[in-house]
Amino acid sequence: MSDLNHAVDQLQQALNEIDVKLAWDDLPMAALEEFKAALDNVRTSLLALIGAADASDYQRSLRRLRLHRAAQVCHSVFSSVIDGTVGPATPGITEFKATVDETLKQVERLIGRRV
């Protein structure tokens, strides 16, 4: 099975799982919102892949998508930190903080601000 077929197969399985879960009673709102955000991301990625005129066009689209997604998910983490569901004891937070600091440093280098 090719990589593409494998990815498509996995995606179809995930979609089937969602269809089953949607029939459950009392699905929490937060779970529905996560579904929706994840689905939106998959759809945008698929359309970028389908709509690319050539490889370099796709690479440009992908970089913009990544940046947009990173900002979105950083905003989600920010909200979780503010409401207290994520804190210093949350697994992965130390590594993530280091990544944020380094990414911030590199972005500031790029846009010419003093770090």
Site for other proteins in 41-100 (CB under 8 A): 41-43, 45-50, 52-55, 58-59, 62-71, 73-78, 80-83, 85-88, 90-93, 95-97, 99-100
| Cβ atoms 48, 65 nearer than 8 A | yes
Q: Which of 1, 26, 114, 115 binds other proteins (CB under 8 A)?
A: 26
Per the structure block, which two tokens stand in for 111?
Answer: 């846009």
Helices 29-51 and 55-82, axial angle in degrees (round to 10): 170
| Cβ atoms 62, 54 nearer than 8 A | no
- CA 49 vs CA 35, 39, 62, 94, 103: distances in Å: 21, 15, 9, 33, 26
The site that binds other proteins (CB under 8 A) totals a number of residues, namely 90
- Binding flag, residue 1, other proteins (CB under 8 A): no
- Work out how close the CB of 114 gets to other proteins at its nearest, in angstroms, rounded to a whole number: 13
Query: Would you say 71 or 114 has its CB closer to other proteins?
Result: 71
- Work out how close the CB of 26 gets to other proteins at its nearest, in angstroms, rounded to a whole number: 6
- Binding flag, residue 23, other proteins (CB under 8 A): yes
User: 3-state DSSP call for residue 18?
Assistant: helix
- Work out how close the CB of 7 gets to other proteins at its nearest, in angstroms, rounded to a whole number: 5
